[in-house]
Structure 1
Amino acid sequence: MVPRESSTGGKQKLLGISKRGNPYLRKLFIQGARAVMLRGTKQSIGLRTWIENIALRKHHNVAAVALANKMARIAWVVLSKGEAYRPALLVDEEPKPRGLHMTPA
């Protein structure tokens, strides 16, 4: 579930998600992400606020794929390291600034 890219002559064209990997798992992650977006749970406060911020800026399908990507990455870390899921690591007090920012000297 990574974005595809087609670049030529210095121009970058971003495409939809790639079709690599297991199509069944990709569908399950996206369906799970849509369920989280529609219903939401109080247990996933950090993930919920993260996806709400994305859903305000992007189309709901793009937000669902972003959440599915994050869920797949979380599942990979949990399975590969054999550790329990720790949702407290997702909670940020303030969103990180993006882009160039001037700081007073």
Structure 2
Amino acid sequence: MASEAMYLLLKTAFELGYRRCEWRCDSRNAASAKAARRLGFQFEGMLRQAMVVKGRNRDTLLFSMLDGEWDGLCQAYEAYLADDNFDAEGRQLHSLGRFMAKACALA
């Protein structure tokens, strides 16, 4: 459901004319960085010492998705979310990452 929610959020943003969407996370949060990449965001860089959190400097990773990339990524999301990619119990047959890899290879 999280992938579908992100698809709907991104689709709406780009349909409204936004040029870019950003994903930011703590550099220590490997799971969040992995999710950003899986969802089609591209790594842009690190904001070093972006803020102080609980008494420590926090480095923030910055990922983005641009409107020019959305057409290919949208197709990947739609292929992933298609009914024929899920079995009778609702389990995915192919991962979103597989569809994203195909979309990136075509770009």
Higher strand share: 2
TM-score (norm 1): 0.31
Q: Greater Rg, structure 1 or structure 2?
A: 1
